[in-house]
């Protein structure tokens, strides 16, 4: 299962990161790096909860992160 993180700056200067493949995984941060980190944490928690509640079968997870600029 592969996930993409979409990150962009809002008009008010905050950054928002979203993982479209996991509905509800959307996080704000003061920087792009912070927003991305928060979305990664929330994605892992979401997957763990779904496995724990038998909503998702255990899956092989491969995590790759973009190179920070």
**pLDDT tens string 19-67:** 998 989 999 999 999 999 999 999 999 988 888 888 766 667 666 666 6
- Whether the per-residue pLDDT at 8 is higher than 60: the answer is yes
Greater confidence (16 vs 55) lies with 16
Residue for token pair 């592969």: 2
pTM of the model: 0.76
**Domain boundaries of the chain, sorted by first residue:** 6-52
Contacts of 64 (CB under 8 A, 6+ apart): none
Q: What is the dihedral of CA 47, 49, 58, 36, to 10 degrees?
A: 20
pLDDT for position 3: 85
């Amino acid at each position: 299962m592969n996930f993409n993180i979409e990150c962009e700056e809002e008009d008010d200067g905050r950054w928002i990161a979203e993982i479209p493949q996991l509905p509800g995984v959307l996080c704000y941060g003061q920087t792009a790096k912070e927003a991305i980190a928060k979305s990664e944490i929330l994605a892992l928690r979401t997957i763990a909860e779904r496995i724990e509640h038998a909503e998702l079968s255990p899956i092989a997870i491969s995590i790759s992160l973009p190179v920070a600029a």
